[in-house]
Structure 1
Amino acid sequence: MTLAGTHIAYIGLGANLGDAAGALRAALAELAANPGVQACEASPFYRSAPVDATGPDFINAAARLQTTLAPLDLLALLQGIELAHGRERPYRNAPRTLDLDLLCYDDVSLDTERLVLPHPRMTGRAFVLLPLRDLAPGLRLQGRGLDDWLAACGEQAITPLPN
């Protein structure tokens, strides 16, 4: 149950440079400590091969936030945390020290230059869908359950990491 004035947002987390798992843990702690975030629950961590990218394997997770931040304010928070962790964007899908994507925000549909909600590519990425299913197994995207979307992800390699 959410408090009045709060919203549920789902965040995708990933990294494949440096201490990737440490970067995800630190980002989760920074999100939880932000005054605009009342609760932050994380999925288990997974290792996945890059999809539409090159470089080492990624460490991925998802988080469910209870937040008072508006979508663009939450995006600004996520991008600020990325920058604090040395995120660079030399080219599309470059290896990264930290990647934080706003996946969903309540049932909001948004299509602006800065932000598209729900995230337009998440339904084709097992590294997003599997951790998201851990947090919200009944979540439906575009009228389909997460298991249906996962089945369509083919042979994308993803394995859970030990706790």
Structure 2
Amino acid sequence: MTTVYIGLGANIDGPIEQIHIALRTLKALPETQLIRCSSLYGSAPLGPEDQPDYVNAVAELETTLAPLDLLDALQAIEKTQGRIKHRHWGERCIDLDILLYGNETLNSERLNLPHHEMANRSFVVTPLLEIAPDLTLPDGQRLSQIQPEFDGDLHKLQSPVIDL
């Protein structure tokens, strides 16, 4: 089993419920076990400002799925939940990103590991630190040493979801 961290985000169609639906679906995913989830955080949109604020979280999973198979599974969850890409960095009912896949590094057309922008996003680093405060990234840097450039309006909305 490989430990992976998934970033979850939503800002339309009941974003908190969309995150909960995605977590329940991740929990039921074959060859995968949901270990824990961070609190839910609210943040201003990173892209176009004429959209609602986001709800974000990070989930820790254990999986035997290969990275691209996991990506396919996450994209299937997004599609099932009705995700439609309206515009780059625009509003979405659900967004699921593989942040880290063990200590693996990968740069392909479909997937970059670790996620190429995770260190620049407080709405990723803060919830990830909550559930993995001692995490060391594949390049040897400790997560606790990262200071994201994006320091938007991030606030805790809910404690971790226990009963998924």
TM-score (norm. length: structure 2): 0.90
How far residue 135 of structure 1 moved from its aligned partner, in angstroms, is: 1.2
In structure 2, C-alpha distance between the alignment counterparts of 1:32 and 1:65, rounded to whole Å: 9
Match of 1:35 among 21, 30, 34: 30
Match of 1:12 among 7, 31, 47: 7
Q: How does 1:8-87 map to 2 (within 5 A)?
A: 8-54=3-49, 55-87=51-83
CA offsets, 1:117-163, max 9 Å, x none?
000001000000011011110113344333332x3435321000133
Amino acid at match of 2:26: L
Partner of 2:93: 97
C-alpha contact 1:10 1:63 (8 A) present in aligned 2: yes
Q: 1:154 to 1:120 in 2, by over 3 A?
A: closer
C-alpha contact 1:28 1:40 (8 A) present in aligned 2: no
The root-mean-square deviation of aligned C-alpha atoms, in Å, is 1.4
C-alpha contact 1:17 1:96 (8 A) present in aligned 2: yes
Number of aligned pairs? 157
1:129 counterpart = 2:135: no
C-alpha contact 2:121 2:148 (8 A) present in aligned 1: no
Match of 1:112 among 104, 108, 113: 108
C-alpha contact 2:44 2:53 (8 A) present in aligned 1: yes
Amino acid at match of 1:35: P
C-alpha contact 2:42 2:53 (8 A) present in aligned 1: yes
In structure 2, C-alpha distance between the alignment counterparts of 1:101 and 1:12, rounded to whole Å: 5
In structure 2, C-alpha distance between the alignment counterparts of 1:152 and 1:59, rounded to whole Å: 18
C-alpha contact 1:46 1:59 (8 A) present in aligned 2: yes
Q: 1:32 to 1:24 in 2, by over 3 A?
A: same
Q: 1:41 to 1:27 in 2, by over 3 A?
A: same
4+ long deviations beyond 4 Å: none
Q: Aligned residues: percent identity?
A: 41
